[in-house]
Amino acid sequence: MGWQRCPWTINIVNDKGQYLLEVPTDHPPHQRIDGQPIKAPSLSTAAKRIVDEDAANNVPPWKTMRRLDREGILLPSDNARKQVYNRRYASRAKTFDGENGPGKTFHELRSYVESLPYPPTDDTQAFCVTSSLELHGDYYAYFSCVSLLRNYADSPLLTGDYTMGLSWVGIPTLQVGSHSKRGSFQLLAIGYSSRQDSAHVAAAMRAIKEWCVENQIVHEPFILLADSAGCFSSAFKAVHGPFIPDSLDSDYRLVPPTSASTSTTGGLTQGNIRIHCHVHFRYNINKALNKYIKPSNTSETKWAEDEKKRFRSAIAFLQNISSERHFGIACQLMTAAWKRHHEDLVKYFEENWLQRKCIWAQG
């Protein structure tokens, strides 16, 4: 790219039944296309050594560029800066925190998992609680340490979330943890999986449970706090049992639990509770507000924003209600008041956040 077509050719000659290559004696120099940018030369061995050394020591890229310039190895330019960043990325993919890491390929990932000691050598030693690393299938691997499980596994509340960009491999990262009494997140296990589905989430939850049982650590969560993705609900049910209903009936009362969703312990009936993350709930409510409350002209812009603010305030009021009975009554009054002017918005709210997934209000 950026060069004129080369006229030089090699001829294939059939000489008495044998194919021979006939190579011209002279080869003119290649000619660039006028106006095309000239590609910068590759980093020298000395430059690569400095970039790798700085990447391992967490030296910022701009300091690396200044060092290369100061030593006369590489003059600053956009092309040079791009090559330094690319080299840093490649170097850090091979090492992590100064030690050999799993890199980017599947075989390196599997090799890294197999290199971890099991059982762990001490309470702070990372180990793989479970993994499935089939070459041509779906794969996952989850990690923890003894101190995390001993300190945090006894919480009644379990939470989980998928995110991107936390690990040095470009696949989803799953975090499973608990909550402290003050509401702060406490990590139990972290790892990666090729798919964000219930089977992979259940594998992590089941491994935590089995490891705790094996080591006599109390781990009996009956509350799940996560976004509304079905993979978390299905995984929790598969490992810890079903949930009580999280929906209001036509009279705005919580649907009563069935015998299949509860258990009796010490004469008390208990069922697992599914709490839907209030942050994700508010995010979806804001999307609905932008969809259903729109100004028809510029003069109504302030009115539309005020209406959205009023609806958010009503949601905040519902969020702070601690009584199930009062929550149902408040929902009934709130929807009746808003339905007169925003019927589509109220219909969305009832169908998605009252008739199902209504336990976002227990935050």
- What does the pLDDT look like over 298-323, one tens digit per residue? 899 999 999 999 999 999 999 888 88
Higher pLDDT, 223 or 269: 223
**pLDDT of 269:** 46
233 — pLDDT class (breaks 50, 70, 90): very high
Task: Please report whether residue 272 resides in a domain.
Answer: no
- Mean pLDDT, range 215-226, rounded to an integer: 93
Q: Would 168 be classed as within a structural domain?
A: yes
Quote the pLDDT of residue 209. Answer: 96
CB 63 within 8 A of CB 81: no
pLDDT tens column, 136-184: 678 899 999 999 999 999 999 999 999 876 665 567 899 999 988 888 8
**Domain end position, chosen among 98, 119, 136:** 98
119 and 58 together in one domain: no
In percent, the amount of the chain with pLDDT more than 70 equals 86
Residue 290 lies in a domain: yes
Residue 90 belongs to domain spanning:
45-98
Q: How many domains does the chain have?
A: 3
Confidence grade of residue 363 (pLDDT, cut at 50, 70, 90): very low
Residues 172-218: pLDDT tens digits? 899 999 988 888 899 999 998 888 999 999 999 999 999 999 989 99
Higher pLDDT, 169 or 124: 124
Does residue 69 lie in a domain region? yes
